[in-house]
Chain A
Amino acid sequence: MKPLANKKNNITCKEVMHHLCENLGEDLNSPKCAAIKNHLDNCENCQSYFKSIESTILFYKKYDVKLSEDGHKRLLDFLGLKE
């Protein structure tokens, strides 16, 4: 188990994780985020957590379903429309 606090910038892993979850994909240029990035560079725990959050999003992004031709026909019928 890695240490929970990075004494250098005084931010705990838990705090980093909360903040990453909230800000992933958003502007990370605030001073707090700079400290977080620094922490992230030096903390394997948080790197691993960050990666798993990114993967979670990607898993659901890549999971698509296709509307069948029958489903398309049923939709037009339901709306009283024709091709």
Chain B
Amino acid sequence: MDEKQLIEKAKQGDAAALTELVKRYEQTVYNFAFKICRDKERAEHTMQETFLSMVKSLHQFSGNSKLSTWLYTIVSNHCLMLARSKKNKNLTYLEDDDALVNNVHLHEWKVTPDKVTENNELREVLDKSIEKLPYDYRIIFILRDVEGFSTEETAKMTNLSVPAVKSRLHRARAFLRNELNETFGE
């Protein structure tokens, strides 16, 4: 059964159709939530809340966008709300463009991305680096670069202008690159 049919059935209260929709997207939602929260427990909580929002407001879903895009938007909003309620002291404020783009330490990196799946130490470095990035920058980086949405789609999902998305993306990339460079560029 295609997605449109499933959504229509789910809107009419068909529990099997709703279950099927949840099963189709649970991995995507969980993975995306983890990439923003960097914590499995919080990612699971976010995933549960996201699907609860989906169940509650599926009747409002017009079908003009993909269901997955709608779910990404809910996760992003949920993570932002969570972040605002728990002010994280470790977050860095990205104000100074010139400081972010520094070309002093340019060395070839010794590690390559293909090692990510088997190297826990490497994953820890990646977690610690992105945890310093403010959530509103983190979400843009993950949506645009990691999940592959266009700048326009990212802007729509986060309710920002295209120039604002570009500016945050630019700073997020430069910030993360600098953080990783401290470990990988030594």
Beyond A55-B112, A57-B146, A67-B27, whether A22 also contacts B19 by CB under 8 A is no
Binding stretch for chain A, among B62-70, B86-94, B103-111: B103-111
- Residues on B with C-beta less than 8 A from A66 are 27, 31
- Residues on B with C-beta less than 8 A from A64 are 31, 117
Q: How many residues of A contact B (CB 8 A)?
A: 40
Would you give the 0/1 interface string for B26-44, flagging 1 where the beta carbon is closer than 8 Å to chain A?
1100110011000010011
Would you give the 0/1 interface string for A58-83, flagging 1 where the beta carbon is closer than 8 Å to chain B?
11111111110001101110110111
A82 to B40, CA, bound (A): 23
A83 CB contact (under 8 Å) in B19, B47, B108: B19
B99-141 residues at the A interface, CB under 8 angstroms = 101, 103-104, 106-109, 112-114, 116-117, 122-123, 126, 130, 141
A72 to B48, CA, bound (A): 10
- Residues on B with C-beta less than 8 A from A83 are 19
* Contact across chains for A59 and B26 when beta carbons are under 8 A apart: no
* Contact across chains for B52 and A78 when beta carbons are under 8 A apart: yes
Q: Apart from A45-B106, A67-B47, list 13 A-B contacts with CB within 8 A.
A: A14-B103, A49-B177, A52-B181, A59-B116, A59-B180, A64-B117, A65-B43, A67-B26, A71-B30, A76-B19, A79-B22, A79-B51, A81-B18
Can you show 25 pairs from A to B with CB atoms below 8 A apart? Answer: A4-B103, A14-B101, A21-B169, A21-B173, A21-B174, A22-B170, A48-B108, A49-B106, A52-B109, A53-B177, A55-B112, A56-B176, A57-B145, A57-B146, A57-B173, A60-B146, A61-B113, A64-B117, A67-B26, A67-B44, A71-B47, A74-B48, A78-B52, A79-B51, A81-B18
